[in-house]
């Protein structure tokens, strides 16, 4: 019932890059390796020519089969925008890539209708400097991740982004760098000696939901096995049950996933677990219906909340989160369990925590990290 084969860098069919960008370590690593894949490799000289290539390839290749190497002109470090009217965790994002090899039905990247190809940013040699520039208060715990607009590890053994960042930041124990994935690509990271406060994180779901909605990702067993290896090698771990998607018997299946985790994972390594019920922005339902015609993802009745996003009814969400929260507290007592983009009253109903702001949540998480893991 689980997803098929994991898609990798070697499934890329076209690589587009500028010859003058080969002085970037990341660009030269990718160009070197792509020759092993049989992919078509093309040089573009400017944005205009790149645009012409894209228009030609749109009708031939799927967007996720085309890798475009580009400089990123914008902010590489930013605060997660969160959502208005809900409690967020003050997470920080590193922009390293836009789009993903995998094809999750619920992925918000599906909203970017005109975007084509996987854009890998290449001017990342000094990415660690952006971290130090912003995460400069040694008394504060920073949680920073690369997995907002892509999967952090889907081709990391080629790009080397994680290893470079880990080696540069490992002495700063208050910087919890998180690499979030639905792959099992960790073997290249295991030998790193100084791991600092690096967190390798897996988004998990039931085999039913993986099979229905997470095309081209690793199976649940492969993800858990990879997480166990990472924990044994000395990395901190995190898990994200997001999105939790309902169907007949879904809670029994999530219960089995949690049992599988506790049987395989050292609980002392798990720094946080997030929970988020499936939600979507207005307009997203039409995109899903158009792109994934047979999908049952948006069949359940959902209702708009304070931030305009559609969610399951609050009563149902509280029941679901209460089930997870109780079990997770028992299995992983050191981990901080939090909700992604939920209202203060949902927080209070499930946990008894009466957070008035996102800063209060951040402070509580910081306290948990400092007292349990440093």
Binding site for ligand SF4 (CB under 6 A): 100, 102-104, 107, 109, 150-151, 182
CB of 303 to ligand SF4, least distance (A): 23
Among 28, 206, 214, which Cα is nearest to 122's?
28
109 or 363: whose CB is closer to ligand SF4? Answer: 109
Q: How far is CA 242 from CA 30, 86, 208, in A?
A: 31, 16, 14
CB of 183 to ligand SF4, least distance (A): 8
CB of 349 to ligand SF4, least distance (A): 28
102 or 332: whose CB is closer to ligand SF4? Answer: 102
Between strands 175-181 and 142-145, the pairing is: parallel
Token match 């203060």: residue?
Answer: 344
H or E segment at 291? helix 284-291
Q: Is the dihedral of CA 57, 62, 65, 66 positive or negative?
A: positive
What is the maximum span of the chain, computed from C-alpha positions, in angstroms? 58
CB of 148 to ligand SF4, least distance (A): 8
101 or 271: whose CB is closer to ligand SF4? Answer: 101
Contact 303, 313 (CB under 8 A): yes
Contact 41, 31 (CB under 8 A): yes
CB of 281 to ligand SF4, least distance (A): 14
CB of 115 to ligand SF4, least distance (A): 12
Contact 288, 297 (CB under 8 A): yes
Among 89, 87, 54, 93, which Cα is nearest to 70's?
54
285 or 314: whose CB is closer to ligand SF4? Answer: 285
151 or 362: whose CB is closer to ligand SF4? Answer: 151
103 or 184: whose CB is closer to ligand SF4? Answer: 103
SS3 88: coil
């Amino acid at each position: 019932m689980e997803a098929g084969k994991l898609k990798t860098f070697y499934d890329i069919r076209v690589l587009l890059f500028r010859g003058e960008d080969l002085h970037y370590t990341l660009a030269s690593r990718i160009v070197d390796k792509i020759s092993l894949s049989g992919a078509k490799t093309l040089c573009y000289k400017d944005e205009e020519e790149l645009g012409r290539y894209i228009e030609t390839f749109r009708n031939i290749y799927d967007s996720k089969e085309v890798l475009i190497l580009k400089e990123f002109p914008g902010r590489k470090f930013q605060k997660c925008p969160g959502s208005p009217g809900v409690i967020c965790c003050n997470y920080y994002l590193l922009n390293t890539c836009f789009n993903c090899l995998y094809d999750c039905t619920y992925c918000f990247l599906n909203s970017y209708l005109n975007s084509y190809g996987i854009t890998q940013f290449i001017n990342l040699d000094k990415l660690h400097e952006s971290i130090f520039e912003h995460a400069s208060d040694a008394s504060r715990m920073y949680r920073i991740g690369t997995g907002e607009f892509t999967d952090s590890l889907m081709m990391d053994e080629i790009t080397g982004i994680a290893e470079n960042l880990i080696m540069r930041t490992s002495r700063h124990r208050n910087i919890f760098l998180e690499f979030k994935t639905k792959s099992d690509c960790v073997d290249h990271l295991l030998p790193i000696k100084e791991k600092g406060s690096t967190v390798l994180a897996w988004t998990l779901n039931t085999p039913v939901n993986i099979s229905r909605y997470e095309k081209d990702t690793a199976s649940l067993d492969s993800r858990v096995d990879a997480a166990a290896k990472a924990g044994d090698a000395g990395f901190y771990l995190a898990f994200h049950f997001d999105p939790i998607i309902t169907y007949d018997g879904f809670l029994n299946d999530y219960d089995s996933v949690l049992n599988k985790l506790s049987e395989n994972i050292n609980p002392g390594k798990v720094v946080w677990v997030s929970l988020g019920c499936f939600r979507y922005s207005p307009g997203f339902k039409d995109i899903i219906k158009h792109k994934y015609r047979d999908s049952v993802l948006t069949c359940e009745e959902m209702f708009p909340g304070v931030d305009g996003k559609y969610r399951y009814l609050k009563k149902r969400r509280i029941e679901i989160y209460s089930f997870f929260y109780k079990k997770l507290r028992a299995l992983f007592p050191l981990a901080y369990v939090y909700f992604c983009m939920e209202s203060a009253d949902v927080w209070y109903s499930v946990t008894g925590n009466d957070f008035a702001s996102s800063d209060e949540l951040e402070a509580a998480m910081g306290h948990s990290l400092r007292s349990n893991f440093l």
